[in-house]
Amino acid sequence: MNTLIKNGTIITSKRSFNSDVYISEGKIVQLKESLNILEPIDKTIDASGKLIFPGGIDPHVHMHLPSPAGYSIDDFELGSKAALLGGTTTLLDFVTPQKGQSLIDALIDRKAEADNSLCDYSFHVSPVEWTSSTEQEIKDCIESGITSFKVYMAYKDSIGLDDENILKVMKVVGKAGGIVTLHCELGDDIDTFREELGRIGNLSPNFHPVSRPDYTEVEAVKNAIEMAKNANCPIYIVHTSCEESINYIKEAQKAGQQVYSETCPQYLLLDDSKYKGNFNDTCKYVMSPPLRKKEDQEILWESIKKGIVKTVGTDHCPFSLEQKNQGKTDFRKIPNGAGGVEHRMSLLYTYGVLEKRISLNQFVDVTSTQAAKIFGLYPQKGEIAVGSDADLVVWNPKSESTISVENHHQNCDLEIYEGFKTIGAPEIVISNGNMVVENEKLISNQKGRFLKRLV
Ligand code: URP
Ligand code: ZN
Ligand code: ZN
């Protein structure tokens, strides 16, 4: 398949320029103004008035995540369709083994679950315990193309690891040239708050944020940075949500430590006032960390602008109202998480670029390029250059929409961005050289590929 995109404005993380793009066999093969192609062209796209971005990379999604309330309800097929419609062509999901299962066996199982993904994909692999074979299992995963390992400082009763074992993971991963990503919340303190709230009968979703105050994230971030320094391991802090966490991250970065930070649209655009109201209105915002104060939002936007926060992922993990209802009388039983993979690019464009909080190049950096660089995919992904995969978004900057449960493609009857207006949308999405979205509609069932990453 040979495709020529004419007259577009290319936006990369570094520069903006007018150019045609010639794509063949899944790769970008020429990039120049007024290209004259002599070989037969299957498809010519006129991108006059449009912007061309590298396909989005969402570094943090949980498709088909098991929970006591059932699986998160976007599986890889449905979730990746929503992602493509939103301009995201690559997903980084997770491998969470059962206790007793090896990391590599869990990786094989997860790959099978992701086989119907329409986006390209890879995984962060989570050691959920430390055994005599964990070091070798980490090395086996690296051999199989995994470069990032995720640890949870919260959720101590299931997948969380204590600090002693986190340090062991960091030492092994750091030595092997990989990166550890962390869910930073003090699990023990949170468990104590949850027990106390249960004891006094404060069990509506209004108390979810009370059980996870800022300091439980901030202190965990501080500890994670300290451990990573001792272990000499690069780290990536997922879903950073508040000002004081940013302060610690900024300090570590200034001192030359390899500490990367991610935030999510929910922490940039929604605040803790969403926890006021009845169960049906509030349960969809039960996620961890919880939504924070309005003042934290501007700090997060500024941190993106200054390059302290490197990426915006979604933590896409939608549950239906029926699933959330499992915690109708006890917020501790509400499955944590919300959807967002479809809206990440349009929200960032509308509320970041158009509101002049970030530049167009920064938009590309945080939605694509940095994730590729941090997680061993660059310049195959995250770039518009000769030789890179032809994952491209032809962005219509004039398309207007309003996010709603009525029109979204995420497989969920809840929508945390209900009523948000967006300007700008992916009119055409090209994945591995083939058009998969045209006129904002999915037109292909092309399967994605597992991406082998390199340390
Ligand atoms: O509430 C959340 N974030 N659910 C998904 C799992 C996680 O902690 O990332
Ligand atoms: Zn998390
Ligand atoms: Zn997550």
Sketch the domain layout of the chain as residue ranges. 3-53+385-397+422-442, 55-374
Cβ of 160 less than 6 Å from ligand 1: no
Cβ of 337 less than 6 Å from ligand 1: yes
Gap from CA of 320 to ligand 1 centroid (Å) = 15
Q: Closest ligand 1 atom, CA of 152?
A: 8
Cβ of 183 less than 6 Å from ligand 1: yes
28: left (phi over 0), alpha (psi -120 to 50) or beta: beta
Whole-number pLDDT of residue 251: 98
pLDDT along the chain (455 residues), means of 10: 97 98 98 96 98 99 97 98 99 98 98 98 98 98 98 96 98 98 98 98 98 98 98 98 98 98 99 98 98 98 98 98 98 98 98 98 99 98 98 98 98 98 98 98 98 96
Whole-number pLDDT of residue 256: 98
| Contact present, 67 and 28 (Cβ < 8 Å) | no
Q: How many residues does the chain have?
A: 455
Question: Residue 218 has which token pair?
Answer: 């901030």
Closest residue to atom 9 of ligand 1, CA basis: 315
Pocket test for ligand 1, best of 123, 159, 315 (most atoms within 8 A of CB): 315
Cβ of 369 less than 6 Å from ligand 1: no
- Give the number of whichever ligand sits closest to the CA of residue 66: 1
Gap from CA of 347 to ligand 2 centroid (Å) = 21
Domain 3-53+385-397+422-442 in CATH 2.30.40.10: yes
Give the DSSP per-residue string, 383-431. --STTSB--EEEEEEEEEEE--TTT--SS-S--TTTT-EEEEEEEEEEE
Whole-number pLDDT of residue 402: 98
Which CATH number is 55-374's, of 3.40.50.1370, 3.20.20.370, 3.20.20.140, 3.90.1170.50? 3.20.20.140
Question: Residue 336 has which token pair?
Answer: 């944590």
Cβ of 287 less than 6 Å from ligand 1: yes
Gap from CA of 312 to ligand 3 centroid (Å) = 12
Closest residue to atom 8 of ligand 1, CA basis: 288
Q: What gap in Å lies between CA 446 and CA 118, rounded to an integer?
A: 6
Whole-number pLDDT of residue 214: 98
Nearest to 53 by CA among 80, 89, 4: 89
- Give the number of whichever ligand sits closest to the CA of residue 59: 3
Whole-number pLDDT of residue 436: 98
| Contact present, 149 and 135 (Cβ < 8 Å) | no
Residue 358 DSSP class: S
